[in-house]
Amino acid sequence: MKKIAVAMSGGIDSSITALLLQEEGYDIVGITLRIWDYLSEGCAEKETGCCSMESIFEAQDFCKTIGVPHYIVDVREKFKDIVVSDFIHEYMSARTPNPCVVCNPTIKWGTILEKADELGCTHLATGHYSQKAECNGRHYLTRAQDESKDQSYVLWQLSQEQIRRSLFPLGKYKKSEIKELAAQRGFVKLASKKESQEICFIPDDNYRTFLQKMVPDINTQIGKGNFVSVDGTVLGQHEGYPYYTIGQRKGLRIALGKPAYVLSINKEKNEITLGDKDEVFQESMIVTHVNYLKYEKLPENKPLYVKIRYNTKPALCFALKISDSRYEIFFKEKVSAVTPGQSAVFYEDKDVVAGALIMK
């Protein structure tokens, strides 16, 4: 019988993942990460969200209910050093990070697989809505059955070995089916539990406040700067470049008589260029730090689909290699708000071909 580690968050997806595998006859071990301490970091007055102690206890209680061992692994220091530091560094570098993409291979898979090895587990199962496949000796991700919940986008940095050892039991289900399954098994409270949508270590979803708490001198270090038009005309003042992202329209606090959008951010000048909606669209982008999944390289001059944000529709594109680590991606139709720091994930039908970081 295979012994499988299940990453448990206390939520419905990871809980039902453990239950489904147990019903299939696997030897299950629940592992929950202690990722972040809201109170000691001064980031919240009380703990909420998926990183809270309450969530850890819920995962622990669920494991007790279904009769499987549960372990808690404290990764707070590692999480802060890798994920939170990267999050802050990216905003301070005038880029917009995606912390889940950084966390998955280094913290979730990296740490839990270490614990899984210690416990004699062969695989790691998670509640992500994704699937995987193998072809010509390569392991890669494929989109989930529930397209609206698919999470293959945030998993692109997983290594071949991490994917090989992964199980995604929910990939073949609709979210509605998982809720129904939980209710049928008697876990009614779990089925109706509200899902967390914010960044796990920012429970109020206000990254500006978070940056101010983690970098106390951010406002004096950077200070206010100018909003400018494409031709360089000063339009007004902003609060500091780390507080803005490409394509942003709301929260600019500037009245121009028409909607304005962030087109670019200049760190050196602490300057933000604003423009009209049609100026946010680009014909191409540069990507780097490519992680190849389905193939050993990114196919050139072959139609692929790319997602540049989690909640965007994939866009048809073509790739042209610039160097060993850089590609220029050309869109068949212009794409809005290409954002440095975000991920570009390339698909061939439902298969993840590769992922990369957007440079510009």
CB 89 within 8 A of CB 242: no
- Angstrom distance (rounded) from CA 272 to CA 234: 10
Whole-number Å distance between alpha carbons of 88 and 8:
27
CB atoms within 10 A of CB 142: 21
121 is catalytic: no
- Alpha helix ranges (H) inside 41-92: 53-66, 76-79, 85-92
Residue 214 φ then ψ, to 5°: -85, -25
- Any bridge partners for residue 250, and if so which? none
Among the listed residues 43, 51, 121, 200, the single catalytic one is 200
**Is 100 part of the annotated catalytic residue set?**
no
Contact 235, 228 (CB under 8 A): yes
Q: Residue 177: what are its φ and ψ, rounded to 5°?
A: -70, -35
What b/e sequence results for 266-299 when a residue is b if at least 16 CB atoms lie within 10 Å of its CB, and e otherwise? eeeebbbbbeeeeebebeebbbeebbbbbbeebe
3-state secondary structure (DSSP) of residue 176: helix
End-to-end alpha carbon distance in the chain = 49
Q: Minimal CA–CA distance to 226: which of 271, 275, 273, 274?
A: 271
List the catalytic residue out of 43, 51, 63, 103.
Answer: 103
- Residue positions annotated with a catalytic role: 103, 200
